[in-house]
Structures are given as structure tokens and as C-alpha cells.
Amino acid sequence: MNYVVIMAGGSGERFWPLSRMARPKQLLKLTSATSMMIEEAIDRITPIIPLENILIITSQRLQQPIREALPALPAENIIAEPAKRNTAPCLALGAAVIRSRTSDPNACMAVLTADHFIGDAEAFRRDVLAALEFARTEDALVTMGIPPTRPETGYGYIEVSGVRLNESGIEPVKSFKEKPDAATAADYVASGRYLWNSGMFFWSVDALQRAMERYLPDVGAAIAPMTERLPEGLPGGLPGGLPGGLPGGLLSEIFSALPDISIDYGVMERASNVFVIPASFPWDDVGSWDALPRMQAQDDHGNVVQGRVVMVDAKNNVVVNATSREHVLTTVGLEDHVVVITDDATMICPKDRAQDVKKIVNTLRAEGMDHVL
């Protein structure tokens, strides 16, 4: 039995002012005109894994917005973390939920993302099935690596061994590399022996638990007691009918006591049975506004435009008018900028400063303007 766990707790700072604390990136329509990224993520995987096997683990703040965004997904599959922890405790909780729902000793877990661009859903599903199959049969921890297309310094890299084990290209991971400097990134890309770390993982629940027990014993040891406590209800559960919330319950206590550590640092970089499958689909982490031209249609002058916009002599801009009232956004002579306007906030920056939108968010927070965050 295959399950999907999507970690969707993002804070929504990088796409401010469109993203907000209660409407982070995965709830925006950034890669499609009609669907939120999280809708796309679900639609992409359901041809091979049924809705009832798809779990979303998010924050308490986002649980309700995500339930509203995904009415077809069983409400009890949208789970709020009892506390903000890193990815290792989050995935231990996911493992516990799967354990509580199936007696299949070979249950496998695909850890997917809901805030990345995936350009070929068919190829994606092929890779996911190959990774799950390899994980199940080889007792492996499999990560998805993206063949790099530029010397990006914002991602971690995976060094591969060069020994392809099957026709999917799965091979043992030699090492994980932190975000490199520009020169190192260029070397990585030129060598052809590095992949971007996508944050997607595939393993059996058993293999994950054993790896956690070995490398993160506190976390590994929490899976069984959390599984036992799940019938009491998940924190932030639905009132009435479905399992109610027990924010002060035992499960919350167990979870909250876990260390704040990532699955990459805590398990993947230490374990020996780690493999990588090279993605066969176009991928982008949609890290900031300047990523949009890599995945959205552009006009003849390289502009990505949404909403009511009038531009004269514009080149290579990202311009989004998301106001709900009648408001016209105009420019003349604008080049290489991002402009986003909503009813209560406007953000303008050069494209190469798009990753610094969080500095605006920090400033607004410091100035007590939380009503626009």
C-alpha cells in the first residue's frame, strides 16, 4: 500500500503580498491560472495513489484553509502538527498516522511537496512509482534529485556515485552538499555528478522507522506511542463527528518533546542505504516571484502578466494585479522588475531582489503592521 505525505506548513513570506500567513504559497495559483499549487499537487498524484491515502501535514493555522481548498480530500487526512517542529518529527507523525490506518507491513510513503513546479505529470508519476518500487524491494531510503539546469546557489546538492542501478537511473548517493557558493555550484553543474535536492523522499514506513531509531532515537521511539494515541484524535481535529482536537493530549506532548531537526540532516546525511532517482521532469522550486517566467507564459517582451495591467515599453517583468476592486496597474519603460498589487498592499522590486521580499515582511512585522502579513 502506497501513501503520500505532503508537508505543507510554509509561512508565505516569499510571495508576499499575494501570500499571507493564512494563505502561503501552496494555496496560490502561481503555476496555473486556475488551480492552487496544492490542488495541482493532489491532482498530479491521484492517478496512482488514491485520495484516501494522501496525507497533508500542516500547521494549525493552515489546517482549515487547506481543508477548504481541498474539499475532495478526506478532512481527517489534513493533519495539524501539535507544535512547529522540523521535517524529521513531522515525518514521524506521518509514519504514525499511516501505521494507525493500515496493517500492511510493507506500507510505503512518498514524501511529496505542494509548492514546487513539476512540468510533466506523466514523467513525475513514472519516477514516483519507480522510486517507491525500489524503496520497497531494496529497503532503501530514496530521494528525488533534479538534474541541475543552472549553477543555483540556493539549493542543496546531491553527489551521485555514477553507478546507475536500473533503467530509472537510481543510484547510491555519495554525499549531500550544503548550498554552495557560486564557483562551487558552477563546478557541480559542470561535473555532471550532482543533482539538486528536491525534498521528495520515498521509503517504506518500516525503513524510515528503523533509520530514525538508529540516527534519531528520540524521534524513532516516538512513532509507536504516537500511533497508539492517534485514536484519541488529532490535535486541531474537526469538531463534531470526526476525531476532535486534543491540543493538550498525550500525542501533543510526545510530539512537542521531539527535537527540531530536519530529515536531511538527521537521517539522510547519516544513513548508508540512501539512493537517488534523477527526475525525468522539468522542476522548479518556485522560490520567489522571479521564478514565474520559468514556468508561465510570457508576452513578446518577456513579461509575465496577471490581471488588469497596461504596460508601455515593458521588458522582462513579472506584473501581478490581484486587486478585487477596479484598479488598473500601469507602467512605462519598466524592465526587469516584479510588481504585485493586492487590495491592501503593493510590492515592487528589481527581479534580482525578489528573494528579499522577506525583508519587507520582516520590516512590516517590526513596525506592527501584522494586518497585511
d(CA 149, CA 121): 19
* Contact set for its own copies, span 60-119 (CB under 8 A): none
CB of 350 to its own copies, least distance (A): 5
Q: Which of 191, 325, 368, 370 binds its own copies (CB under 8 A)?
A: 325
Pick 246 or 322: Cβ nearer its own copies: 322
Is residue 331 within the footprint of its own copies (CB under 8 A)? yes
Is residue 322 within the footprint of its own copies (CB under 8 A)? no
Is residue 149 within the footprint of its own copies (CB under 8 A)? no
CB of 188 to its own copies, least distance (A): 28
* CB under 8 A, 24+ apart: contacts of 184-191: 185/151, 185/152, 185/153, 185/157, 186/151, 188/148, 188/151, 188/157, 189/148, 189/150, 189/151
Distance of CA 327 to the CA centre of its chain: 33
SS3 assignment for 15-75: CCCCCECCECHHHCCCCCCCCCHHHHHHHHHCCCCCHHHEEEEECHHHHHHHHHHCCCCCH
Contact stretch for its own copies (CB under 8 A) within 100-108, 115-123, 274-282, 322-330? 322-330
Locus of grid cell 543555483: 152
Q: How many residues bind its own copies (CB under 8 A)?
A: 38
CB of 337 to its own copies, least distance (A): 8
Locus of grid cell 515593458: 314
User: Which strand ranges, in their side-by-side order, compose the sheet holding 304-306?
Assistant: 304-306, 318-321, 337-341
Q: Which of 240, 300, 332, 370 binds its own copies (CB under 8 A)?
A: 332
CB of 180 to its own copies, least distance (A): 24
Binding mask 275-314 for its own copies (x = CB under 8 A): -----------------------------------x-xx-
Is residue 336 within the footprint of its own copies (CB under 8 A)? no
* CB under 8 A, 24+ apart: contacts of 212-216: 212/88, 212/92, 212/266, 212/267, 214/271, 215/266, 215/267, 215/270, 215/271, 216/88, 216/259, 216/261, 216/266, 216/267
Pick 144 or 304: Cβ nearer its own copies: 304
Is residue 360 within the footprint of its own copies (CB under 8 A)? yes
CB of 101 to its own copies, least distance (A): 45
CB of 288 to its own copies, least distance (A): 11
Torsion sign across C-alpha atoms 32, 264, 70, 326 = negative
CB of 303 to its own copies, least distance (A): 13
Is residue 368 within the footprint of its own copies (CB under 8 A)? no
* Contact set for its own copies, span 15-44 (CB under 8 A): 17
Is residue 254 within the footprint of its own copies (CB under 8 A)? no
Is residue 166 within the footprint of its own copies (CB under 8 A)? no
Sequence-ordered strand ranges (E) for 156-193 = 157-160, 171-177
d(CA 228, CA 99): 9
Chain positions contacting its own copies, by CB under 8 A: 17, 310, 312-313, 325-335, 337, 339, 341, 343-350, 352-353, 356-357, 359-360, 363-364, 367, 369, 371-372
